[in-house]
Structure 1
Amino acid sequence: MTAPDPVRAARALGGAAAAILMIEGIAVLFVPRGIAQSDGGLGGGRLAYLLVLALVFILAAGLQRRPWGLYVGTALQVPLLLTGLLNNVMWFLGGAFVLIWLYLLQVRKELIGSPFGPARAPEHDDGGSTGTTTP
């Protein structure tokens, strides 16, 4: 099943991808609070990693208009999942976001025909006749 207007569907799914990345960036900003209460505490390296990661997610949300934006968003799912090494709750939360991202790619594949490829405009029939008419 493909969308009647794949270009429009691609734009809509790009907006959904940007929204997911923004929410992931905000979720990463909550991680330092949980780490600070743990035994190891929140060191400068951990804090810097999380702040940079959150910033990269927010910037990647703006890149979703570019053809390679989905590649960046997909690659960022790995460091998001690896934040589980800093706080165990992030294994669950990161896993949930990865599943949401994979679902978005699956919907994109169904509507556009490719999870990463460019959307092509549908070929419209101009309504021209082939020379035969029907009464």
Structure 2
Amino acid sequence: MTEPEENAMPVEGETGAATRRSGLRNPEAAVRGLGAGTLALEAIVLLLAIQPIRILGVNLSGWQIGLVIGLAVIAAALAGCMRRRWGWNAGTALQVLLLASGLVVHWSLGALGVIFGLAWAYATYVRKSILSS
């Protein structure tokens, strides 16, 4: 008699085996990686957005640059906190803050807020669909 493979998907009707509809070995880790990757990319884009905003002719004051850098640092920190229960809610709050900074600092940050808000909404949808199955 052979031992079942560790990575094999359970067969329908098999007793004692939990079925995984997503086909992922560790769906929680995959979803955390998606959220962390989205936030890490957001942090990088925020830091890279400072110079183009300045080139557009906007004279950013020190507090405005500090706000953008602060949002990038928060995004990077939250990327490392995706294991925490509150990580996804904090990521959603960050997207709202980024949208609001578009009203205060420059419209291009609002555009980034819309783009990353949609990406975050998709990541949240994927999380819900994978973990609820």
TM score, norm. by length of structure 2: 0.73
Unmatched segments (≥5 aa) in structure 1: 115-135
State the superposition RMSD in angstroms.
Answer: 2.3
Give the 4+ runs in structure 1 shifted more than 3 A. Answer: 2-7
1:3–1:9: 8 Å Cα contact kept in structure 2?
A: no
Task: Compare relative contact order (CA 8 Å, sep 6+) and give the higher one, 1 or 2.
Answer: 1
Q: 1:68 aligns with which of 80, 86, 91?
A: 86
User: Which AA in structure 2 matches 1:113?
Assistant: S
| Aligned positions of 1:80-91 closer than 5 A | 80-85=98-103, 86-91=105-110
| Aligned positions of 1:29-68 closer than 5 A | 29-68=47-86
SS at structure 1 position matched to 2:45 = helix
Higher Cα radius of gyration: 1
Q: 1:26 aligns with which of 1, 26, 44?
A: 44
2:53–2:108: 8 Å Cα contact kept in structure 1?
A: no
Identity %: 34
SS at structure 1 position matched to 2:81 = helix
Matches of 2:50 and 2:130, distance apart in 1: 38
Report what 2:4 is aligned to: none
Matches of 1:92 and 1:51, distance apart in 2: 17
Unmatched segments (≥5 aa) in structure 2: 1-19
Judging changes above 3 Å, is the alpha-carbon distance between structure 1 residues 111 and 22 closer, same or farther for their aligned structure 2 residues? Answer: same
Report what 1:100 is aligned to: 119
TM score, norm. by length of structure 1: 0.72
Matches of 1:23 and 1:34, distance apart in 2: 17
Deviation at 1:66, TM superposition (A): 1.4
Q: What is the number of residues matched between the two proteins?
A: 113
Whether 1:77 and 2:95 are equivalent positions in the alignment is yes
2:92–2:120: 8 Å Cα contact kept in structure 1?
A: yes
